[in-house]
Amino acid sequence: MARRGLAVSFGRARQLVAAAAEAYRRGTVSDPRTDAQANITLDVDGNIIVAFKGSSEPADFVQDAKFEMCGLNQNGIGPAAKVHCGFLEDFSAIKEAVVSQVEALLPRGELFITGHSLGGALAMLFAPEFCARRLPVSGVYTFGQPRVGNSAFAAGYDRTVAMNGSTLKDLTMRVVNENDIVPRTPGWLLGYRHGGNELFLPAGTITEWELNPGPWSHAWSDLLGLYGAWRNRRDVLVSEHFLAAYRQRIQLMG
């Protein structure tokens, strides 16, 4: 499948999908009001791994439902950027504690950011924050991540420059199962857009993948997903969002 000159590391994806799963079980930073949680660890090579927990408690689903957009006051993103209000509340609740823990681990190796679902949305908010604070972001991998903000946010995210000279567009892989409904939300008609690169995993295959498929590919996959749900009498659009579905697929890649 097309790689378009971008580096896709399935070894790194396997490491980070495991870290995203661990963030559901434990956290080094958490906020009791929003249930936002991050797990910040070092890997065997001394790299810093920041993993954000996805939705698992009632407080998370309350935050998910706050899909109106709020202004984002973040260095380098631009004044027109707006993001999901619930995601922004989670980000704001743990921002300083997360940054403090990361800074306490420096100087170390590289900095990698990950999360599943809501956790992926938080990863997309923290990546430019880390860059603004001159922290050494080297990669962002998210799994089943919803859209985070408007086109101004997506464009600002993509052009943000990390310490190694790469843009966040270069460093970000949004891993998406074809039949996962969540990356299609919040809706395009509400003004939401994705940033980064999409690593698309087609249904019905084991090792095939595509980087940044076009709109016709997405439209076709939507039709196939709805047909599969009807034919199999099961909600594949939800089951394919589970982190276990991503872990199983990523283990077979590369």
pLDDT in tens, 19-39: 999 999 999 999 999 999 999
Q: In terms of pLDDT, which residue wins out, 104 or 179?
A: 104
pLDDT confidence band for 58 (50 / 70 / 90): confident
Q: Where are the domains of the chain?
A: 10-251
Q: Residue 2 pLDDT > 50, yes or no? A: no
For the chain, the helix, strand and coil percentages under 3-state DSSP, each to the nearest 5: 45, 20, 40
Cis-peptide into 136, omega within 30 deg: no
Q: In the 8-state DSSP scheme, what is residue 5?
A: T
pTM for the structure as a whole: 0.92
Alpha carbon 148 to chain centroid, angstroms: 9
CA dist 57 and 180 (Å) reads 20
* 3: pLDDT strictly greater than 50: no
Residue 47 tokens, joined: 């790299």
36-51 confidence digits (pLDDT tens): 999 999 999 999 999 9
Using CA atoms, how far apart are residues 18 and 168, in angstroms rounded to an integer?
22
| pLDDT for res 5 | 40
The pLDDT value given to residue 76: 83
Q: Can you tell me the mean pLDDT for 231-239?
A: 61
pLDDT computed for residue 234 by the predictor: 53
Percent of the chain with pLDDT over 70: 89
| Letter string b/e over residues 198-215, b meaning 16 or more CB atoms within 10 A of that residue's CB | bbbbbbeeeeebbbebee
CATH number, domain 10-251: 3.40.50.1820
Using a 10 angstrom Cβ sphere, with 0-12 exposed, 13-18 middle and 19 or more buried, the burial of residue 151 is: middle
What's the mean per-residue pLDDT of the chain? 90
Q: What pLDDT score does 229 carry?
A: 57
Nearest alpha carbon to residue 120 among 183, 210, 186, 212: 183
So what's the pLDDT on residue 31?
98
Tens-place pLDDT, residues 78-114:
899 999 999 999 999 999 999 999 999 999 899 999 9
Mention every residue, 6+ apart, whose C-beta is less than 8 A from residue 50: 38, 39, 40, 98, 102, 111, 112, 113, 114, 123, 126
Alpha-carbon Rg for the chain in angstroms: 17
The distance of Cα 29 from the centroid of its chain, to the nearest Å, equals 18
pLDDT of residue 121: 98
Average pLDDT over residues 234-240: 66
- Closest C-alpha to 179, from 121, 207, 221: 221
What is residue 233's predicted lDDT score, i.e. its pLDDT?
53
* Separation of CA 100 from chain center: 21
Which residues are CB-contacts of 170 (< 8 A; sequence separation ≥ 6)?
A: 6
What integer is the mean pLDDT of 192-202?
95
Q: What is the mean pLDDT of residues 222-248?
A: 72
Mean pLDDT of 139-158: 97
